[in-house]
Amino acid sequence: MRAGFTLIEVLVATVIASIAGMALLQMNANNMHLFKQIQYRSSNSETLSLVALHNDIKYNRTTKTLFDILDNTYDITDDDFRKYLKDSKIDYTEKVLETITFGASESETAQEPAVPKQEMPHAEDVQMSTMAPVLQFELIQIVVKNDEGKNAILSARPFQ
């Protein structure tokens, strides 16, 4: 008996090793793709959150750089970061979805106060108001589009 492998045994071992190697390469490629997608979404989420925090109706339907949006708010001294912000062009659009009102309705404002004026001490010095404060907000959809893709977020802004 010989102490070696036959040609068929070597071929079978090579095929098994190559199939296992291909499976590992495929798993590596899938993991790299998923990692790049996570990096892309994280980067776009950061950009979107920066823009959403500094939303302003004057930016609606404009193409701005991140530097234009953030320059008035932050003192940016790092030259590399400043260049990155100036090179990052974004398309900013807003769409008002709904106006939300919190406060007194018309029926509540027409009612008389519960306590008559003459029973209150110094009623002439106290200014009575039957209206509760009214708060109004706009629910807006902010869409930010750059070279890497497009993202959207909902935001509430005091009604102007």
d(CA 144, CA 52): 9
Q: Is pLDDT of 122 > 90?
A: no
- For CA atoms 120, 122, 123, 129, give the dihedral sign: negative
Q: How far apart are CA 31 and CA 37, in angstroms?
A: 10
User: Helix H segments across 54-148?
Assistant: 66-70, 79-87, 106-109
Q: Which two tokens stand for residue 93?
A: 């659009």
- Residue 62 and residue 92: Cα distance in Å, rounded? 6
How many whole angstroms separate alpha carbon 65 and alpha carbon 68?
A: 5
pLDDT recorded at residue 68? 80
Q: Who has greater pLDDT, 83 or 103?
A: 83
Mean pLDDT over 41-59 rounds to 76
Q: pTM (2 decimals)?
A: 0.51
CA separation for the pair 149, 54 (Å, rounded) = 20
Q: What is the pLDDT of residues 60-90, one digit of tens each?
A: 788 878 788 777 777 878 888 888 888 888 8
Distance CA 148, CA 43 (A): 9
